[in-house]
Chain A
Amino acid sequence: MTAVVSAQNLGLTFKTNDGDVVALSDVNLTIDKGEFVSFIGPSGCGKTTFLRTIADLEQPTSGTLTINGQSPENARKDRAYGYVFQAPALYPWRTIEKNIALPLEIMGHSKSQQAERVKRTMDLVNLSGFEKKYPWQLSGGMQQRASIARALAFDADLLLMDEPFGALDEIVRDHLNSELLKLWDRTKKTICFVTHSIPEAVFLSTKIVVMSPRPGRVTDIIESNLPRERPLDIRETPEFLAIAARVRDGLRAGHSYDEDHI
């Protein structure tokens, strides 16, 4: 079985007017089918860049990266993944159902197929009843759910999520985290999830990739032994706290919390 994502010695250097910026350096990582992998680290550690590289939105400058055994470009053209951005990025002139149908229109699905899939994914993210609403009529949390539905609509097996709940308040965030876990369990998708919240990463993941900046690199990869079924109060158990402590250590080892560097 080939890995869903496989990176070997992956590096990415941005050329800027102030000189080269090493966004990713020597990243080695394998993500298997059905995993929930979180990428955690402070800003500038390259977690978003890595996600964008998987999505073929950035081009690596060294090493190899394959998605389902293919190049990222071919995987993108195969519509191998759904991407959820930091902001919902809904098109304001489209209703919620039309926004979710957008990838289906582009990929040439028939009208009836579009309707069926829109209905199914809207049920999946608990947005039924809001089909005809425009984005501005929905709360931030609901907008982000709609953008997740849009990423799920065309049934890609890989879901890439870039701090999707970063702009939401903690109550909404907890709620959406639980829903995301249920959704992952039901759909059996592989999920790559960027975050800078330790509890969020530990709560959601089967694997936590700790990254640190300057240059962006992986400092630790933690396999979680928590059960797949995770109620919110699992966050008070010793197992949970032990993993969280290891993540924190990993971040500290990468000098992530140093105040200097400027």
Chain B
Amino acid sequence: MRTLKVMNASTGSNTIALSVRNLVVNYADVHAVADISFDAKAGSVTAVIGPNGAGKTTALEVCSGVRQATSGTVSVLGLDPQSNRLEMNSRIGVMLQDGGVYPSGRVGEVLEHYCNLFGNRERADDLLEAVDLGSKRKATWRKLSGGEKQRLSLALALAARPEVAFLDEPTSGVDIVGRDLIRGIVRNLADSGCAVILATHELDEAQRVADHVVMFQRGRLIANSSLEDLCGDNQAVTLRTSSKIDLAALAMHMNCRVDQNKTELRLYANSDANFISRLSNWFAENKFVLDDLRSGTPRLEDIYRELINVSEQSK
């Protein structure tokens, strides 16, 4: 498979490509996005995660200029998505959730049109090959499978050879092979200096591709940090028990921080064999039940649950 050409060399990594400040979007009396601020850097993948209806799509639509904010500012490559729209559009690639292709449009034709719109920086043939749709050139959009639609939609965003790419749920409805392909493309994009902003509710997906994570919950941010800081070095042991545990005693005995999330306990410590053995001994001595135990890097999903709990409790 072809790797797409390296884009605009002037966009160095670590440059802030997207900056969102105090963004508020209201629909009638619903606060879809309530005072959100975050940045996305060139050369990295920023995953915007959160459950359905958390405000991810709305925020992405404002950033890509198709929706107006109620208040707050957005700057994409130093440009305002409303007042500098066309100039911004020529430098960004957008993949919307609903595809946005006429059902009778043919794959090759639609892609060629998008290449034309962006001044033919990419060749439609190369893009078709990159998303593995070379054999579907003559097929109409309505005849494509869900996964094929997603891949074509991604290719349309790539036609811009973007400096900033907004991808809304790019892997939803895509099979495993397609997911690997899309992840590869997303990684390549970022490696070539593009700031990729990817919205997804699939946390596993986010953990695989993201460098930075922005977590939404009911229109608010509950986390904004690098994936590494969020769960990387943060070694932990997670266990499940039906016994009533004295958290303070356990923390003191194991000499680490202990959090509880319903029936799950998490101990933040370097989870080597010695630690595990001391832990299981303590359980045995106290005749506590140990239903499940796992160690290593916590899953984004676990961290997400925890953060949601914290944010709900703080209300």
Does A associate with B in a complex?
A: no
* A interface with B by C-beta (< 8 Å): none
Residues of B within 8 A of A (CB): none
